[in-house]
């Protein structure tokens, strides 16, 4: 997993549980009188996310701040890499992204 470092932008694939967790998070924000509006997410949605912590480069296990279409974010923990874009995984945004910025 060359290039897997904090600050890297990747794609996160929502599963049903994570999508429901966003709803629960937004409900808690609403109860606390904080802005909780935003467009819904559902299983299968693919959205950008920033790597905030790398746990295991062998399997690509990371924590992500998922960028939602609204004023909030979602913290996805211990997410592993999947080139096949399986639910609750991350993948590179484009071919070659893992080596972008490295000396040639």
Quick: pLDDT tens for 88-97: 999 999 988 8
Residue 47 included in any domain: yes
* Whether the predicted model's global pTM rises above the 0.85 cut: yes
Confidence band, pLDDT 50/70/90 cuts, at residue 98:
confident
Query: In terms of DSSP bridges, do strands 73-81 and 46-56 run parallel, antiparallel, or are they unpaired?
Result: unpaired
- Containing structural domain, residue 54: 9-35+43-94
Angular region, 57: left φ>0, alpha ψ -120 to 50, beta rest: alpha
Residue 22 included in any domain: yes
Residue in 70, 65, 88, 77 with CA at minimum distance from that of residue 9: 65
Q: How many domains does the chain have?
A: 1
Residue 100 included in any domain: no
Residues pairing with 7 in the sheet: none
Residue 102 included in any domain: no
Residue 3 included in any domain: no
Higher pLDDT among residues 32 and 53, named by residue: 53
Residue in 95, 104, 86 with CA at minimum distance from that of residue 12: 86
pLDDT digits (tens, 9 = 90+) for 39-85: 999 999 999 999 999 999 888 999 999 999 988 899 999 999 999 99
């Amino acid at each position: 997993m060359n290039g897997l470092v904090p600050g890297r932008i990747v794609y996160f694939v929502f599963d049903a549980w994570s999508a429901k967790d966003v709803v629960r998070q937004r409900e808690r924000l609403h109860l606390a009188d904080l802005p909780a509006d935003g467009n819904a997410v559902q299983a299968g949605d693919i959205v950008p996310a920033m790597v905030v912590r790398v746990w295991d480069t062998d399997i690509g296990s990371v924590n992500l701040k998922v960028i939602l279409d609204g004023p909030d974010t979602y913290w996805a923990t211990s997410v592993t890499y999947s080139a096949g874009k399986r639910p609750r995984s991350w993948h590179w945004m484009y071919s070659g992204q893992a080596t972008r910025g490295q000396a040639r």
